[in-house]
Structure 1
């Protein structure tokens, strides 16, 4: 009989949570916030509190992924994908799509506020966008509100207000990079705001970005086929997040 590697059902079926952390010369970026979200996600899935991952001998750049299931906590490190660097530099063309979910009527078993391993739909959505000639998409609720991108938060600028979607109200994953950026907004004269927004309102914003740990900010340069002018705030906000020193 051939040797077999036994894998627990939870590992196969996405019954776990994860975090992706940007490694910098100063150490893992926003590590405490990522570990706190890992614990919140674990609680949503009725997982025990995760142990502290080993954090020795880390490189000065790259992506650290922490995966936690009912059976194991695993930490791996790899390079920043070239696509991520390209999107940060060149921006992204984005489509909107109805996710078929209401912000007012989430099922009681919903895990949308957790960063779970069940990412099949997220990547399928991005592949669909690519087949339509775009790079990414933003999900809309059945009421027409902007929610999030499959692997990023939505951030926008209107006047002097730097905004993102309120995670609790929208029932989405809380974005660590977006929250950190908004906390820094007053230092550059912008007012941080969390509010719901429709697609038409988003389209009229002065600038739109997708925010995530590795990407930092990727400016939306086209929304549903309509080109958007590049914003001078993109470079300023990337610098505010400390990305220029590590490009």
Structure 2
């Protein structure tokens, strides 16, 4: 990728905490607040459908229970993924990556898809997410694929090397920069507190973009802007006017 097409501001899981995360209702609400780029979490059902969910288990964000990746899509599709949030969203279904792609392309939006595998499915999830993203976004600005799991990013690179990738970090562990470069990443996505002048300089000197999660305070956002970072993922779609 020679040009970086993505806007600075990214809505976390669709609309932060204002709507049930990772549902189409959340992405629509984030768009109503002016956001053009969204972050989501993608994992596999037991029969290979890519659906959106952060947790390994269904309990927190649906009326189901158990490990989501162990259930077939036909069962997952029947779950209520909105009632936990508020009565307004009761009955909102889980979203699929295919449905998300249709909505994204129809509206000209951008996406950061975090590959969030069920434990033990890191490689397979990276492969399937990359394959489907390459298929459904063909001819359009591709989503940025990110993961905390290097093996998922490696599988994505092997499957669809033209899709941009980013390494997610919750600590600056030894070898993080070398790993990002070996995976031919275009970006590093850090817990915002990890960025300082030294780490930003290291990443940018290596040709990497610097993105941050999850930034919900004005002082933190201004610090990152002053450091010259490139992307801010936020829950506060109601606070920050995207640019």
Q: TM-score, normalised by structure 2?
A: 0.26
Is the radius of gyration larger for structure 1 or structure 2?
1
* Structure 1 length-normalised TM: 0.25
Q: Which has the higher strand share?
A: 1
Structure with the higher helix share, 1 or 2? 2
